[in-house]
Amino acid sequence: MEFSAGSYKIQGLDVQALASEFGTPLYVYDGAVIGRQIGRLKQAFSGVNLRIKYAAKALTNISVLKLIRKEGAGVDVVSLYEAQLAFRAGFTAAEIMFTPSGVEFEEIAEAVSLGLTINLDSLSALKKFGERYGNSYPCCIRLNPNIMAGGNLKISTGHSNSKFGISIIQIDEIVATTQQYGIRMAGLHIHTGSEITDSGVFLKMADILYDISRHFPDLQFVDFGSGFKVAYKEGDKVTDIDDLGRKLTESFNTFCKQYGRDLELWIEPGKFVVSESGVLLADVTVVKPTPTVTFVGVNSGLNHLIRPMMYDSYHHIVNVSNPAGEEKKYTIVGYICETDTFGSDRPLNDVREGDLIAFLNAGAYGFSMASNYNSRVRPAEVLVVNGQARLVRKRETFDDILRNQVEVDL
């Protein structure tokens, strides 16, 4: 979202006009930003055989998935329903990586029947996979490197107490199980966490993967996950993608020479691809001064954007309606019957009831984590492509809240 000529615009479209046309609350995604981010990754890793597998859980709207496929990325899914969404968006089985966590084995078996690349994250699943498929179907394993990294404990997934992956300390058991059943190991995978800014963390992961690869002579790819950080506010330290791409490319090419042949380098960006593309628009319902703070209440809440309450995340907030107003301090809150705070003591241009407020960097884990809490409906979604705003999800209605309820006579 850009500020120019006294108004906020997305690809030249006035944000207030979008809110008037489609109503609020409203998620709006800038397709050009999604294309730009995928292009940045391709450029940064141009020296290797790169495969981008977009982490669909960040934002699963089918039209957004179609755009991401058009930009040349594959997809990583964590459930069979995400896989079905990917198929609906045009992805082929060969373009889909399936990385579940703690699911029933029959879900993994269904993914095999669909032809997906299977990524296993427990010794139990690996053993069951070997028992059922032997060497007839390849797989990948997700390793836990025992590295603490990421912007919040809830999004740090590679430490020793994380539920994700098979600990590298258990490598002997991994190898023994693989040999016992003749399992074809196609890939090795590590995802250490989200919002990692230090290229050294990825290089440390790389060394771990390179060392473990000696046990598996028939690998096709090595998957470094993601965790690339984008800026949520001015001055934020971010992942230097160009620096990371340069260093990891050099490291990976050296490894491939030692391994004896070229492999594919996979990455699984989610937030990096879609976060900066999205804004959540909401109307101010009340300006509530108290002796200690002035609250700005909006017609949205943690049911639409839970990240500030769940992860203590920062989203920059702007008053779209009054960009030239006097700057004052406000605490912006939602309409949910819980402590429901988007931001405390934020400087905003003078806010009036009826103004339009925008929450930036809301493309990732915004709508995809939305709920019907308090029996509130979820918002509409709009995708802007080539200067045109397209409705890609209708706003829910009360009928949607009732849809699967079964009313019985008591």
Amino acid, single-letter form, for residue 363: G
Amino acid, single-letter form, for residue 248: L
pTM of the model: 0.94
Is 359 within a domain?
yes
Is 80 within a domain?
no
Q: Provide the H-helix boundaries in 23-156.
A: 31-44, 62-70, 80-88, 105-114, 123-133
Residues 235 and 350 in one domain: no
The answer for residues whose C-beta is within 8 angstroms of residue 171's C-beta and 6 or more apart is: 212, 215
Contact between 379 and 367 (Cβ < 8 Å): yes
Is 382 within a domain?
yes
Residues 230 and 119 in one domain: yes
Contact between 377 and 396 (Cβ < 8 Å): yes
Amino acid 160: pLDDT:
54
Angle 123-133/171-181 helices, nearest 10 degrees? 10
Residues 209 and 317 in one domain: no
Q: Indicate if 337 belongs to the active site.
A: yes
Query: Rounded to the nearest 5°, which phi and psi values hold at 286?
Result: -155, 140
Along the 410 residues of the chain, how does pLDDT read in single tens digits?
A: 888 767 899 999 999 999 999 999 999 999 999 999 999 999 999 999 999 999 999 999 999 999 999 999 999 999 999 999 999 999 999 999 999 998 999 999 999 999 999 999 999 999 999 999 999 999 999 998 876 444 444 334 444 566 878 998 999 999 999 999 999 999 999 987 777 888 888 898 899 999 999 999 999 999 999 989 898 988 888 999 999 999 999 999 999 999 999 999 999 999 999 999 999 999 999 999 999 999 999 999 999 999 999 999 999 999 999 999 999 999 999 999 999 999 999 999 999 999 999 999 999 999 999 999 999 999 999 999 999 999 999 999 999 999 999 999 99
Contact between 316 and 348 (Cβ < 8 Å): no
Contact between 183 and 218 (Cβ < 8 Å): no
Amino acid 162: pLDDT:
65
Q: Which position among 139, 140, 256, 337 bears the catalytic label?
A: 337
Is 53 within a domain?
no
Residues 223 and 181 in one domain: yes
Is 81 within a domain?
no
Residues 157 and 121 in one domain: yes
Residues 326 and 213 in one domain: no
Task: Please state, in angstroms and rounded to a whole number, the distance separating the CA atoms of residues 16 and 191.
Answer: 39
Residues 116 and 247 in one domain: yes
Residues 249 and 125 in one domain: yes
Task: Examine the fold and report which residue of 211, 235, 269 is the final residue of a domain before the chain moves on.
Answer: 269
Q: For residue 158, what is the domain's CATH number? A: 3.20.20.10
Number of domain units in the chain: 2
Contact between 378 and 372 (Cβ < 8 Å): yes
Count the neighbouring beta carbons within 10 Å of the beta carbon of residue 92. Answer: 11
- Say how many CA atoms lie within 13 Å of 159 toward its Cβ: 11
Contact between 206 and 244 (Cβ < 8 Å): no
Q: Which residue range forms the structural domain that includes residue 21?
A: 2-28+275-402
Q: Provide the H-helix boundaries in 102-161.
A: 105-114, 123-133
Is 353 within a domain?
yes
Task: Examine the fold and report which residue of 269, 287, 316 is the final residue of a domain before the chain moves on.
Answer: 269
Residues 253 and 131 in one domain: yes
Amino acid 164: pLDDT:
78
Contact between 202 and 31 (Cβ < 8 Å): no
Q: For residue 345, what is the domain's CATH number? A: 2.40.37.10
Task: Examine the fold and report which residue of 218, 239, 269 is the final residue of a domain before the chain moves on.
Answer: 269
Is 335 within a domain?
yes
Residues 227 and 321 in one domain: no
Count the neighbouring beta carbons within 10 Å of the beta carbon of residue 227. Answer: 29
Task: Please state, in angstroms and rounded to a whole number, the distance separating the CA atoms of residues 282 and 24.
Answer: 5
Is 299 within a domain?
yes
Residues 361 and 395 in one domain: yes
Residues 217 and 363 in one domain: no
